[in-house]
Structure 1
Amino acid sequence: MSITGAGDGPRARGIVATGVHRSFGSVHAVAGVDLTARAGAVTALIGPNGSGKTTLLLMLAGLLVPDAGHLTVDGYDPVTEGYATRALVGWMPDAFGTWDSLTAREVLTTVGAAYRMSRADAASRASELLDTVHLTELADSPARVLSRGQKQRLGLARALVHDPSVLLLDEPAGGLDPRSRVDLRLLLRRLGAEGRTVLVSSHVLTELDEMADDAVFLSRGRTVAAETVQAASAARRTWRVRALSASALAAWLTSVRVPWDAEDSVAPPADAPGALLIALDGEASAAALLKDAVTAGIPVTSLAPAGGALEQTYLSLEEERR
């Protein structure tokens, strides 16, 4: 996919970061990030606190300048083409900001005016987005009366006012209730399907499994892994198996251990008494194990991943074992 710049031909869609560094005094917040976020996909940015996620997002939004390396957002350089970049980026920080004196509707129309939308277009867009994020009933209430979750929803609407082709979202699910989390997931999937580039930072890894197409893992300011969610789901990971008789299950698993893999680990999980954990290579291996267990007369009652695909990838990274 490509877009056309003014007089400069087609530009590549999506986000690319190559060898990006950014320090604050002696603190190396970003110390060598390489990242690609595809247009038409939702990319998860994953890492512990202090790994450089927010600093990277700020640089992509054109709000910080990298010390070294190169960034492009839909083919534009946020450093040398800041105005053009900001015109196509929707930025949602992890906190709403300082606009508490404005009503929810005024917040959105003010942002629309900043993007040079007509008064009528800004008002129409504000009404549309307030409905999208389920804040219509609070449209004319001052932002200061909104809850943390409601402010998050308003922050998402604010990022969407100018219909951006790229979305940068920093912890968008923070403070959201379960229903709003589902709505957010569905909205981001729809925005990605529309061809937008969506880069989302979050600590809620189980939700990212259902929301994201790709994932990039950061640690100590560096990129340490990148993979698709589909590949993470198919990779070797831990599954939880439960049967009416845990002892019969354990005996059977031990008897068939070699055909599966000599390195498979079978162990009782501390958080699920009566169940066992076994390492398997994706859903096909899990389905085969379940079939053989039923054929052998083992009364299996459940078989499911012990955690999300991205969560297990994240926990397996040696970088995070401090």
Structure 2
Amino acid sequence: MTAAIEARNVARSFGTKAVVIDASLSVAPGSITALVGPNGSGKTTLMLMLATLLRPDSGEIRIAGHDPLRATAAARAQLGWMPDTLGSWGTLTVRETLFAVCRMYGLTADTANTRTQELLAIADLGQLAGQRTNTLSRGQKQRLSLARAYAHQPSVLLLDEPASGLDPEARLAQRASLSRLAERGVAVLVTSHVLDELEQLATDVVLMRDGRTVSAELAAQAAETTRWRVRATDPEALLAALASAGVAAERRGGISGDHVVVLVAGEAGAASLLRNLITTGIDVIEYAPLSGTLERAFMGSVRAEEDGA
């Protein structure tokens, strides 16, 4: 299957400052890929290059098969871009805003009217159609921003921190909208610092650090030893069982009660430890990774980089 978004060995500097040094990624149609990295890792600069808003110094980019440098209009026709903060025309209503954007993409008035109605439904903005955009909440503006990015039915969506500032209900609604778009074959590349949110949404991940994308396989290998949270009805018996098994444990408190944190070697090690605890007669009532998969992969990439230094 041809990648909807592809970047190979992309680099970009600003003066003497190298921001993106060597970035490569591939996003398939109908998939949602998370681009994860700390502040200053080059994520936004890479996204701007993919969005055809910055020219790379070197490397290759393809958007739906089009080279943005040689076929900019064709690439942009397949591209929807949602930056972290997108201004709106405060005196226009939600409906007027979407209609204006549709017309900017060359739709006729009749087609733009029809498409506006579709976008209001897709983004769940129907009840806000007549409301001026300067009165919208942060979450409502994000929904409008996503609708604007999808106005021309692109095959690729680039979303930079789309969940920033959203409450849990708004994040849930946004996640549902993006999942529906992916089901229609749209390729989505999304950045966010909210790793738990991305974990519930993304089907793939690209890790980025210090201007470079990191091998997900390398990160996974480095993340094999992970911390797990264990809680039992009898904390003292749990600690004794772990000590007897030669497993180091750190006791912690929390709103749900005392628990311990243990180090295990991957999922096989976690399963083996749980089986031993149950066989020993420990009533385990909670057993889960202390961090999510994306967080573990990201921390694994950090360790992999440190080990290779």
Using the size of structure 1 for normalisation, the TM-score is 0.86
CA contact (8 A) 2:3 2:27 kept: no
Match of 1:297 among 281, 299, 302: 281
- 1:101-180 equivalences under 5 Å are 101-180=91-170
Match of 2:250 among 267, 275, 296: 267
CA contact (8 A) 2:98 2:116 kept: yes
CA contact (8 A) 1:214 1:227 kept: no
- 1:147-296 equivalences under 5 Å are 147-226=137-216, 235-257=224-246, 265-269=248-252, 274-283=258-267, 285-296=269-280
CA contact (8 A) 1:215 1:227 kept: no
Supply the AA of the counterpart residue of 2:249.
V
Give, in angstroms, the shift of residue 38 of structure 1: 1.9
Report the RMSD for the aligned CA atoms in angstroms.
2.5
31 and 209 in structure 1: CA distance in 2 versus 1, 3 angstrom threshold = same
Give the distance between the partners of 2:254 and 2:62, measured in 1 at CA.
45
Give the distance between the partners of 1:116 and 1:180, measured in 2 at CA.
31
Give, in angstroms, the shift of residue 154 of structure 1: 0.5
Using the size of structure 2 for normalisation, the TM-score is 0.89
Give the distance between the partners of 1:287 and 1:310, measured in 2 at CA.
20
SS at match of 1:209: helix
Supply the AA of the counterpart residue of 1:153.
R
Give, in angstroms, the shift of residue 208 of structure 1: 1.1
SS at match of 1:198: strand
Q: Which moved more, 1:84-93 or 1:26-35?
A: 26-35
CA contact (8 A) 1:214 1:228 kept: no
Supply the AA of the counterpart residue of 2:7.
A
| Deviations, residues 63-91 of structure 1 (Å, cap 9, x unaligned) | 11111111111111111111000000111
Give, in angstroms, the shift of residue 244 of structure 1: 2.2
Supply the AA of the counterpart residue of 1:279.
L
Give the distance between the partners of 1:118 and 1:69, measured in 2 at CA.
37
CA contact (8 A) 1:267 1:278 kept: yes
Q: Give 5+ residue unaligned stretches, structure 2.
A: none
216 and 227 in structure 1: CA distance in 2 versus 1, 3 angstrom threshold = farther
**Number of equivalenced pairs:** 303
235 and 252 in structure 1: CA distance in 2 versus 1, 3 angstrom threshold = same
Match of 1:17 among 7, 12, 15: 7
Percent identity (aligned): 47
SS at match of 1:268: strand
Give the distance between the partners of 2:248 and 2:16, measured in 1 at CA.
43
Supply the AA of the counterpart residue of 1:191.
L
SS at match of 2:90: coil
Give the distance between the partners of 1:190 and 1:282, measured in 2 at CA.
33
Match of 2:31 among 33, 41, 64: 41
Give the distance between the partners of 2:123 and 2:217, measured in 1 at CA.
30
| Deviations, residues 120-176 of structure 1 (Å, cap 9, x unaligned) | 222222222222322222212221111122111110011111111111000111122
Give the distance between the partners of 2:168 and 2:112, measured in 1 at CA.
30
Q: Which moved more, 1:270-279 or 1:90-99?
A: 270-279
Give the distance between the partners of 1:242 and 1:269, measured in 2 at CA.
10
| Deviations, residues 226-275 of structure 1 (Å, cap 9, x unaligned) | 3599x79x944221001122221122122224xxxxxx653234767621
Give, in angstroms, the shift of residue 189 of structure 1: 2.3
CA contact (8 A) 1:33 1:222 kept: yes
Give, in angstroms, the shift of residue 297 of structure 1: 1.2
CA contact (8 A) 1:242 1:303 kept: yes
Give, in angstroms, the shift of residue 178 of structure 1: 1.1
55 and 189 in structure 1: CA distance in 2 versus 1, 3 angstrom threshold = same
Give the distance between the partners of 2:142 and 2:100, measured in 1 at CA.
17
| Deviations, residues 189-223 of structure 1 (Å, cap 9, x unaligned) | 23223222110001110111111111111112111
Give the distance between the partners of 2:42 and 2:144, measured in 1 at CA.
25
Give the distance between the partners of 2:71 and 2:176, measured in 1 at CA.
32
Supply the AA of the counterpart residue of 2:51.
A
